[in-house]
């Protein structure tokens, strides 16, 4: 797990956005541009799996082809230290799963569904299915300067190019969330763009009713509901809403996909008309904007195991889209889960400050070692002249200074070498050694001022300046960022 201020693939980590079984999504700063990104990092065990590597790379290729203000975009991808990574747009906001169905205005919820439907139709026309539409995968971006609050669709991690020949899920594992899965997904039948419409119908029901259409703690009952039970009436849970919505949702959630709307946009337009009480228009779908027919979107998935409820990827990343969205109505304000400061460009640390600290420590280490050697030589000289003192005097005059200077020399020299090698322990040793010298220099200056010794004041003043420079450089945040590159590369 990366920590704040660690560096990975040039990105500076700011925090964690989410974590799943296959990896973690981090909030990070772009290495060259003044922007925040969401950095998805897969665990080493996942990255080493050849099939999962293909799926991850296909995820990036699929989403990179989609350029729409309602779809999270891809910036870059790569591999470092055995980990697959992908950087994506970051959106400040929340997801639709956190909305209070009773507090939110139905019109605002309908706008969320409309934004999502437009994004889905765009993807479908380019041969891409989402296959995991649910409230948690719909982000509600905060309003920015010149931009209204809008919905952005995320987590295309289980999308597939519909014309691909490669079968990447050999076992046929079903990955959509059970509460929003279409009957054809659950039964292993061919899947097309209308499966996403079914899930969007379930999502609209959930956002308005406060619970999924087939709510149960028993997975078998949920599957039975999708496959065989009638679509529940929204008006039973929300009698304050127009009953025309029941027919629109029932059509979007029809058991047979041929009975559903032609596009997600048509469904959203019919639901909007029904909310306004335009029953005839809603049922005929005449309020829908004319659209070209979506591209062929059929994928055969013969599933030996009908259902699992865990998507294979962590939530895709949020981002501030570069394209201005169409004007839409504002939503009720939602609390910001990620209050962050204004983005500023963060240049790559050069290591000059860290190396300055190491050089200062190395110089002081040499100085203290010379003092220790000089003291040893003086002691040997006096003994050679038979100027033997009492053991107590020898300890005070020679052994104690030799021990202290030798320890300081080892601390400073070892710390400087370790810091040059970009070891975290070297930074601590250098900071400790230069800090001790700074304190000693301050005490010596005070004593010299009392004796009115100008030469000593100047000497110890110079020592103080160099020692404090080394200390400040060692504890500088720039030194920490420089060391973070080494820690990130050595992390498994």
What pLDDT digit, counting tens, does each position of 424-435 carry? 888 999 999 999
Please state the φ and ψ torsions of residue 164, each to the nearest 5 degrees: -75, 145
pLDDT digits (tens, 9 = 90+) for 263-273: 999 999 999 99
The Cα–Cα gap between 245 and 490 comes to 56
Q: CB of 38 within 8 A of CB of 26?
A: yes
CA angle in degrees (0–180, nearest 5) for 213-263-223: 30
The Cα–Cα gap between 269 and 306 comes to 32
Q: Which of 194, 187, 188 is nearest to 300 (CA)?
A: 188
What's the confidence (pLDDT) of residue 146? Answer: 60
Q: CB of 199 within 8 A of CB of 117?
A: no
Q: CB of 14 within 8 A of CB of 26?
A: yes
The residue behind tokens 């959930």 is: 206
Instruction: Calculate the average pLDDT of the chain.
Output: 77
pLDDT digits (tens, 9 = 90+) for 362-383: 999 899 889 888 888 877 777 6
Residues of the chain with CATH 3.30.200.20: 7-88
Q: Considering the domain 92-284, what is its CATH architecture?
A: Orthogonal Bundle (1.10)
Q: Which structure tokens are listed for 198? A: 């079914």
The Cα–Cα gap between 115 and 120 comes to 9
Catalytic residue check, 258: no
- In the chain, what is the straight-line distance between the N-terminal and C-terminal CA atoms, in Å? 9
Q: Which of 6, 95, 115, 132 is catalytic?
A: 132
**179 Cβ contact partners less than 8 Å away, ≥ 6 residues apart:** 134, 202, 206, 212, 214, 215, 222, 309
The Cα–Cα gap between 200 and 194 comes to 10
Residues of the chain with CATH 1.10.510.10: 92-284
**428 Cβ contact partners less than 8 Å away, ≥ 6 residues apart:** 415
pLDDT digits (tens, 9 = 90+) for 119-152: 999 999 988 888 889 998 899 988 875 667 889 9
The Cα–Cα gap between 393 and 399 comes to 9
Domain 7-88 has what CATH class? alpha beta
The pLDDT of residue 322 is above 70: no
């Amino acid at each position: 797990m990366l920590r704040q201020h660690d560096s990975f693939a040039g990105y500076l980590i700011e925090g964690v956005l989410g974590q799943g079984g296959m990896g973690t999504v981090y909030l990070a700063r772009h290495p060259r541009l003044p922007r925040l990104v969401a950095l998805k990092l897969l665990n080493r065990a996942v990255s080493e799996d050849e099939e999962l590597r293909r799926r991850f790379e296909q995820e990036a290729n699929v989403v990179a082809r989609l350029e729409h203000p309602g779809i999270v975009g891809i910036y870059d991808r790569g591999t470092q230290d055995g980990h697959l990574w992908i950087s994506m747009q970051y959106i400040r906001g929340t997801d639709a799963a956190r909305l209070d169905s009773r507090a939110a205005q139905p019109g605002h919820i309908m706008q969320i569904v409309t934004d999502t439907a437009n994004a889905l139709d765009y993807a479908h026309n380019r041969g891409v299915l989402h296959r995991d539409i649910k409230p948690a995968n719909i982000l509600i971006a905060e309003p920015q300067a010149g931009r209204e609050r809008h919905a952005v669709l995320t987590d295309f991690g289980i999308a597939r190019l519909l014309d691909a020949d490669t079968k990447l899920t050999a076992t046929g594992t079903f990955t959509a969330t059970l509460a929003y899965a279409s009957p054809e997904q659950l039964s292993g039948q061919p899947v097309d763009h209308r499966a996403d419409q079914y899930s969007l119908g379930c999502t609209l029901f959930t956002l308005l009713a406060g619970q999924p259409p087939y709510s149960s703690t028993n997975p078998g009952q949920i599957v039975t509901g999708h496959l065989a039970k009638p679509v529940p009436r929204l008006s039973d849970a929300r009698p304050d809403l127009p009953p025309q919505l029941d027919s629109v949702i029932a059509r979007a959630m029809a058991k047979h996909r041929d009975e559903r709307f032609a596009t997600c946009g048509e469904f959203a337009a019919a639901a909007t008309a029904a909310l306004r009480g335009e029953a005839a228009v809603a049922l005929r779908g005449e309020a829908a904007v004319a659209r070209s027919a979506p591209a062929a979107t059929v994928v055969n998935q013969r599933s030996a195991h009908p259902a699992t409820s865990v998507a294979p990827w962590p939530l895709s990343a949020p981002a501030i889209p570069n394209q201005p969205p169409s004007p839409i109505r504002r939503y009720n304000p939602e609390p910001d889960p990620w209050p962050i400061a204004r983005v500023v460009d963060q240049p790559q640390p050069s290591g000059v400050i860290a190396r300055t600290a190491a050089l200062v420590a190395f110089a002081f280490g040499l100085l203290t070692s010379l003092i220790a050697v000089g003291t040893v030589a003086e002691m040997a000289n006096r003994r050679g002249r038979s100027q033997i003192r009492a053991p107590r005097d020898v300890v005070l005059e020679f052994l104690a200074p030799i021990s202290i200077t030798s320890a300081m020399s080892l601390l400073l020299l070892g710390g400087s070498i370790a810091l040059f090698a970009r070891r975290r322990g070297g930074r601590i040793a250098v900071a400790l050694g230069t800090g001790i010298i700074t304190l000693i220099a301050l005490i010596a200056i005070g004593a010299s001022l009392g004796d009115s010794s100008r030469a000593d004041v100047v000497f110890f003043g110079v020592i103080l300046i160099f020692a404090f420079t080394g200390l400040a450089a060692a504890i500088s945040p720039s030194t920490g960022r420089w060391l973070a590159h080494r820690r990130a590369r050595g992390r498994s």
